[in-house]
Structure 1
Amino acid sequence: MTTQSEPLRIDIVSDVVCPWCIIGYRQLARALDATGTAHEIHWHPFELNPDMPPEGQNLREHIVEKYGSTPEQSEASRVRMTELGTDLGFVFRFADDMRMHNTFNTHQLLHWSDQQGRKHALKQALFAAHFTDRRDLSDDNVLADVAADVGLDRSEALAVLADQRYAAEVRNVENFWVSQGIRGVPAMIFNRRHLVTGAQGVENYTRILEQLAGMQDQATG
């Protein structure tokens, strides 16, 4: 059990169509629970595919094209991620017709939801909408429905997406994290100082949290 005078600040840079982002977060959440670490999480935007056209691209084709994976490697990765998700209580339902979409609008909606105190809930709902329910996150009506599901005003969500009122702010935040050297996600920054990238696993996150608690004890001792 760790003890600390102030909650551990955790900034997570991620995209809602990144499977390793939800896996990494779920692993971290397990470690936070196991260590009893007081914490506060702040989600930040990152677009895996900022140049993706509105119609998106078949997910399997996209993975092969972007990462050079063979179909066999892609399938093995899906099996592995599905197994990890099951262990963490998250359901991946990959299908051959799944598509990768541009997520700039999702990040604008998340930015707006933060003002309503619903950002964390919406983030989790968007992960599930994409990976579990295979909903089309490029469709504004789908995004508004997901927002409504977590208690946000659906008509206001549609208005936010229609007038793009937060586009400049979201782009500025995205650019900030890229300027800080973030090139892949998930990227987790602990107490604004310690960067951890990728899904590290529950045991590794637990060790990281224990190390951070020890460092804080030394600083305050």
Structure 2
Amino acid sequence: MAALDAKKLHIDIVSDVVCPWCVVAYRQLAQALQASGTDYEVHWHPFELNPDMPAEGQNLREHIAEKYGASQAQSEENRRHLVQAGNDVGFEFNFADDMRMHNTFNVHQLLHWADQQGRMHDLKQALFVAHFTHRRNLSDNQVLADVAAEIGLDRSEALGVLADQRFADEVRAAEHTWVSRGIRSVPAIIFNHRHLVSGAQGVENFSRILQQLATAED
């Protein structure tokens, strides 16, 4: 497959760290990008799946049943499907009956702070693992600060960011920007500011998309 030319492919990804298909889609895309030799840059953007979720979160199975009307059997099948999709791209989903869904507004503020240090991507990946693989409590600011520290960010400053909410207005504005552009579900992947692809498309489909983009650039 021919690589895109010297101009970097600009990729915006609107996502939430409690969205399982967001990490699957990113891993699929990353594999396609590597195989194609594409020169690219990824920009992550905030989206809250559950902006009205209380601070203590909610049991994940109960949440899925309430939000989507899924039966326990449907929930189990979806989990099996996700585990396989994760295995296919080298990501471990470790679901359990006591797993919880979280309000992620503080998570997005921490990511915004990390972005100022050029570490948003690293923190995003660490948070995916913290939530889905290790089932850590993303509703707990101490846990969020721990995750930040584990990738080399300053733990005390992370706690300060979460305590004083200094980036709350900026994160709200960023969320509103994408909603105002019609984004209602995630992952939403936008190539070169104009080509929107929704959901986890699979490595082969992402590869075809990259080829189409390369052809269009030519």
The residue number in structure 2 matching 1:39 is 40
Normalising by structure 1, what TM-score?
A: 0.97
Shift of 1:3: 3.0
The residue number in structure 1 matching 2:6 is 5
In 2, the alpha carbon distance for the partners of 1:104 and 1:85 equals 25
The residue number in structure 2 matching 1:156 is 157
The residue number in structure 2 matching 1:131 is 132
Q: Residues 109-142 of structure 1: CA distance to partner in whole angstroms, max 9, x if unpaired?
A: 0000001111000000000000000000010000
The residue number in structure 2 matching 1:121 is 122
In 2, the alpha carbon distance for the partners of 1:3 and 1:135 equals 39
Equivalent residues in 2 for 1:1-221, closer than 5 Å: 1-217=2-218
Aligned partner of 2:117: which letter?
Answer: Q
Q: Residues 167-215 of structure 1: CA distance to partner in whole angstroms, max 9, x if unpaired?
A: 0000000000000000000000000000000110001000000000000
In 2, the alpha carbon distance for the partners of 1:205 and 1:41 equals 15
Aligned partner of 2:200: which letter?
Answer: A
Normalising by structure 2, what TM-score?
A: 0.99
Are the equivalent residues in 1 in contact too, given 2:4–2:214 (CA < 8 A)? yes
SS at match of 1:10: strand
In 2, the alpha carbon distance for the partners of 1:4 and 1:161 equals 41
Shift of 1:87: 1.3
In 1, the alpha carbon distance for the partners of 2:40 and 2:14 equals 16
In 2, the alpha carbon distance for the partners of 1:87 and 1:23 equals 9
Large movers: runs of 4+ above 2 Å: none
Q: Residues 69-104 of structure 1: CA distance to partner in whole angstroms, max 9, x if unpaired?
A: 111011000001001111111100000000001000
Aligned partner of 2:135: which letter?
Answer: R
Aligned partner of 1:101: which letter?
Answer: H
In 2, the alpha carbon distance for the partners of 1:197 and 1:86 equals 21
SS at match of 1:48: coil
In 2, the alpha carbon distance for the partners of 1:150 and 1:187 equals 26
Identity rate of aligned residues, in percent? 71
In 1, the alpha carbon distance for the partners of 2:31 and 2:117 equals 26
Could you list the runs of 5+ residues in structure 2 that have no partner in the other structure? Answer: none
Corresponding residue pairs, total: 217
Q: Residues 9-28 of structure 1: CA distance to partner in whole angstroms, max 9, x if unpaired?
A: 00000000000000000000
Shift of 1:5: 2.5
Aligned partner of 1:15: which letter?
Answer: D
